[in-house]
Amino acid sequence: MSKPSTAAGETPPVHLAREGAILVVTIDNPPVNALGVAVRRGLMSAIEEGEADAGVAAILVTGAGRNFIGGADIREFGKPPQSPLLTELCNRIEACSKPVLAALHGAALGGGLEVALAAHYRVALGNARLGLPEVQLGLLPGAGGTQRTPRLIGAQAALDMMLTGRHLGAKEALSLGLVDQLVEGDSADHARAAGLRELQALLDKHAPVRRSRDGKGLADTAATQAAIAAARAEAGKKSRGLFSPHKIIDAVEAATTLPFEEGLALERQFFLQCLDSPQRAGLIHAFFAEREVQKAPETRNAQPRRIEQIGVVGGGTMGAGIAVAVLDAGLPVTMIERDDEALARGRGHVEKTYDAQVAKGRLTQEARDAVLARLHGSTRYEDLSAADVVIEAVFEDLNVKQAVFAELDRVCKPGAVLATNTSYLDIDAIAASISRPADVIGLHFFSPANVMKLLEIVVPRQVASEVVATAFELAKRLRKVPVRAGVCDGFIGNRILAVYRQAADYLMEDGASPYEIDAAVRDFGFAMGPYQVVDLAGGDIGWATRKRRAATRDPRARYVHIADRLCERGWFGQKSGRGFYRYPDGPRSGAPDPEVLALIDEERARAGITPRSFSKEDIQRRYLAAMINEGANVVHQRIALRPLDVDVTFLYGYGFPRHRGGPMKYADMVGLPNVLADIRAFAAEDPLFWTPSPLLVELVERGANFESLNQAG
Ligand code: T1G
């Protein structure tokens, strides 16, 4: 058979072979068989040739490697479309006069599943994962998925798939009618063999061409309308501010009212609208950024050490959370505490997490017992002698931590990685206090450590590259999102947080109420505003930080005392029943507090400030300009490798709305000259706080943006 044309020397990403009367079409486009233009052209010509060849009775479509097809090529979005469009390809597959069967293993996602739905029959191996995750990219299934899926499996199941973007296992796909048969195997070869066998069986019984567009999944009008109404209600609540979920529902509604071709045309129109939305740009940036952060110089240049035995020193909130994260990764943990009572408390924290899952029916008692059998407790450091990695999570005091590291230095085997979970202490000082500084690294988990995905990997001056590589490998095992950070007060996230919190405090003292500030920040897309976060975490934590920093604070810097006044009254937030908000009926009942407003007025008077009003936009621009400017400083000072590392830190650790891509991506979308102009305007009020980052100034002068720095690092 002839091969589709590709650039000279390039292996064609679609291979054809004949097995009797069956034409086998194999997509081979590593790493995930994405449907780039060469693949689409190869598939189109394969279908044309199979159709035209009288010796071909049927066509089998399979994927090489670990997946069937991972989806459209996301890197093509935002560029001029190249023919054939995926929609055209799917329509051509479905229009084929000879039976087409797709054999699915691994990922069959997005456009990959749409290709399979355009085929006439589908079989799935046990490891197949089927999904329409386009909504997670700010898009919708744009190659017939919104029209074929509901006709195959009904509106309710189709809407669930498209609005959640979740992956379905093979069994669920079979029960819904997405695939016709489950077959044995877990590899591309198994998929090919099973596909051949099942397609030959179809030929033997003269099975007809069966088109998904003719499916009867929408026959029950009442159920369909109810599903659409329910989806709209849900999207109104859960997809606040998002664009594509509503277009998905519109497209499915079109499938219930319009002929297939017209529904397809409307789907295309909606898809292009989603493609043009800034949400697509933000979400696709997030998709690639969370993969790029896994790549640091050390992960390219060094090999990780063994990670099989993990020690955790400290069984408090963080230590227990870290122990759960390690246990959830299937690894054994040795937890060290100073005495039996503290150890019992630490074990209790861990057991409580799993008992809660048993109570909710998410975990069986047996599974819970099996996990906890991997937790060993001890009050003797000697029991860490076999540990490959030890994570210290004791009280945030340098002397206490150095004492712990002295013990680790004494008992741990050569090559053991010694990590500290400190959130701000100087890790270089910890490393310098023991005989093996090259083995010391920072692993800054975010509370709750077993839930929060972000893990800042803090790289001290003397650390060995393999130790950094080991930390990234551990992050992967724990299913965390790692971000490489340099040593400074607050690393990446907390350092930037302190600055935009200051901007919020200035807004509050200058006239905006904490409630207006929180509302404006929520309106931008955060789940909570800064003062709701303070009340949730506990105002005493920030108070301790401010007191710690008092000695080194720049005396010229404006200092707002409002938060301290609340703490002096014991108004720490939810845990004390009141903070910036009152909580008369528990944590979820936060209500504005007139006494807080009165206290703010007193502070304004004391500072000689005449309050002025700020619009929602004013608040958002100042809050974000402070965040972006300090993010630029963090990149400029090489604390973060690239702007995307700041983005990922805020997407995964600080609730930055994902559809905006992160603070640096957002700044690019606003336009760096506009951000710099804002900062310069604000500097008229406070030139010290609003000092433009040298990096921001340089990029604006060069007409460049933060994205241009993301290939570095
Ligand atoms: N396009 C381009 N590159 C992709 C890609 C894609 N669809 N999927 C993955 N990659 C890259 C990824 O950036 C990484 O690159 C490498 O492949 C390995 O990825 C018209 C519009 C398939 C489950 O949303 O969920 O179809 O870092 O580390 O863990 O309706 O990748 O090596 O340079 O994630 O084995 C819909 C997205 C697209 C699926 C494999 N499809 N991908 O996971 O590998 S829109 C998706 C995934 C669409 C149509 C619509 C996962 C995976 P690098 P990885 P993995």
- Asked if residues 651 and 290 have their Cβ atoms less than 8 Å apart, the reply is yes
Asked whether 242 and 279 are in contact (CB, 8 A), the reply is yes
Ligand 1 atom closest to the Cα of residue 109 is: 41
Can you say how many angstroms the Cα of residue 557 is from the centroid of all Cα atoms in its chain? Answer: 36
Report the candidate in 371, 373, 412, 384 with the shortest Cα–Cα distance to residue 314: 384
Catalytically active residues, by annotation: 114, 134
| Mean local confidence (pLDDT), 22-30 | 98
d(CA 538, CA 566): 11
Partner residues linked to 310 by β-bridges: 333, 389
Q: Which atom of ligand 1 is nearest to the CA of 287?
A: 13
* pLDDT, position 6: 52
Run of H or E including 318: helix 317-328
- Digit-coded pLDDT (tens) for 190-221: 999 999 999 999 999 999 999 999 999 999 99
16 - beta bridge partners?
Answer: 25
pLDDT at 266 over 90: yes
Beta-carbon contacts of 66 under 8 Å, excluding residues fewer than 6 positions away, are 32, 105, 106, 107, 188
Please state the rounded mean pLDDT for residues 361-381. Answer: 96
pLDDT the model gives residue 5: 46
Counts for the chain of helices (H) and strands (E), in that order: 29, 19
User: Distance, CA 112 to ligand 1 centroid (Å)?
Assistant: 11
Backbone angles phi, psi at 125, to 5 degrees: -80, 165
When pLDDT is averaged across residues 682-686 and rounded to a whole number, the result is 96
The CATH number, out of the four listed (1.10.1040.50, 3.20.20.140, 3.90.1210.10, 3.40.250.10), of the domain defined by the range 494-712: 1.10.1040.50
β 129-131/100-104 pair status: unpaired
Tens of pLDDT, residues 523-542: 999 999 999 999 998 999 88
Quick one: what percent of the chain has pLDDT higher than 90? Answer: 92
* Over residues 271-284, mean pLDDT: 94
Domain boundaries of the chain, sorted by first residue: 14-275, 307-490, 494-712
In ligand 1, the atom with minimum distance to the C-alpha of 291 is 27
| β 168-169/129-131 pair status | antiparallel
Q: Is the CB–ligand 1 distance for residue 63 below 6 Å?
A: no
Parallel/antiparallel/unpaired status of strands 440-445 and 129-131: unpaired
Does residue 71 line the site of ligand 1, with CB under 6 A?
yes
Interhelix angle 594-606/493-510, rounded to 10 degrees, is 80
Ligand 1 within 6 A of CB of 107: yes
> Cβ(31) to ligand 1 under 6 A?
yes
CA 593-594-599 angle, 5° bins: 100
Torsion of Cα atoms, 230 then 236 then 238 then 243, to 10°:
110
Beta carbons within 8 Å of 521's beta carbon, 6+ residues apart: 528, 529, 530, 619, 620, 623
Burial label for 387, CB within 10 Å (0-12, 13-18, 19+), is buried
Residue 4 has a pLDDT of 46
pLDDT averaged over every residue in the chain: 95
pLDDT digits (tens, 9 = 90+) for 72-83: 999 998 889 999
**pLDDT per residue as tens digits for the range 150-165:** 999 999 999 999 999 9
Residues 369/372/374/379 CA torsion (nearest 10 deg): -140
Alpha-helix runs per DSSP H in 130-214: 145-153, 155-164, 170-176, 188-204
- Residue type present at position 580: F
Q: Which of 271-280, 633-642, 689-698 is the least confident region? A: 271-280
Q: How many CB atoms are closer than 10 A to CB 563?
A: 22
400 Cβ partners below 8 Å, 6+ apart?
A: 394
Q: How far is the CA of 70 from the centre of ligand 1 (A)?
A: 6
Q: Give the residue-averaged pLDDT of 313-321.
A: 95
79: Cα within 13 Å, side-chain hemisphere: 10
Predicted confidence at residue 7, as pLDDT, reads 56
In this structure, what token pair is assigned to residue 192?
Answer: 């090919």
pLDDT in tens, 412-432: 999 999 999 998 899 999 999
Instruction: Tell me: pLDDT of 341 over 60.
Output: yes
**Is residue 689 a contact partner of residue 507, using CB atoms and an 8 Å limit?**
no
Our answer on whether the CB atom of 139 is closer than 6 Å to any ligand 1 atom is yes
Question: How many of the other CB atoms lie within 10 Å of CB of 478?
Answer: 22
Out of 12-16, 507-511, 642-646, least confident range: 12-16
Report the relative pairing of strands 481-486 and 581-582 from DSSP bridges: unpaired
Q: What is the Å distance from ligand 1's center to 198 Cα?
A: 29
Distance from residue 71's CA to the centre of ligand 1 (Å)? 7
Distance CA 636, CA 643 (A): 9
Any idea which architecture 14-275 has in CATH? Alpha-Beta Complex (3.90)
d(CA 412, CA 405): 10
Is residue 362 within 6 Å of ligand 1 at its C-beta? no
Asked if residue 479 has its Cβ within 6 Å of ligand 1, the reply is no
| DSSP alpha helix (H) spans, 551-615 | 562-568, 594-606
Fold match, 307-490 / 494-712: no
For residue 25, which of 190, 192, 184, 143 has the smallest C-alpha distance?
A: 192
pLDDT digits (tens, 9 = 90+) for 294-308: 999 999 999 999 999
Block residue for tokens 């000092």: 691
Q: Name the band, by pLDDT with cuts 50, 70 and 90, for residue 3.
A: very low
Pairing of strands 129-131, 310-313: unpaired
CB proximity list for 560: less than 8 A, separation 6 or greater? 502, 505, 506, 508, 509, 603
- Assign 8 a pLDDT band (cuts: 50, 70, 90): low
pLDDT greater than 50 at residue 1: no
Rounded CA separation 62/197 (Å): 13
Question: In the predicted model, is pLDDT for residue 239 greater than 90?
Answer: no
| pLDDT value for 2 | 42
What is the mean predicted confidence (pLDDT) over 226-249? 92
- Strand pairing of 581-582 and 591-592? antiparallel
pLDDT greater than 80 at residue 33:
yes
**pLDDT in the model for residue 9:** 61
Verify whether ligand 1 is closer than 6 Å to residue 110 (CB atom): yes
Pocket mutation for ligand 1, best pick of 32, 109, 287, 294 (most atoms within 8 Å of C-beta) = 32
- Write the CA distances from 629 to 424, 510, 543, 675, integer angstroms: 21, 21, 24, 9
Q: Is the pLDDT of residue 121 over 60?
A: yes
pLDDT tens for residues 381-397?
A: 999 999 999 999 999 89
| Percent of the chain residues topping a pLDDT of 70 | 98
Is residue 636 a contact partner of residue 694, using CB atoms and an 8 Å limit?
A: yes
Q: Is the pTM of this model over 0.75?
A: yes
Strands 333-336 and 375-378: parallel
Choosing among 3.40.190.10, 3.30.1300.10, 3.20.20.10, 3.40.50.720, the CATH entry for 307-490 is 3.40.50.720
Most ligand 1 atoms within 8 A of CB, residue of 35, 39, 74, 288 to mutate: 74
Question: Which numbered atom of ligand 1 lies nearest the CA of 73?
Answer: 1
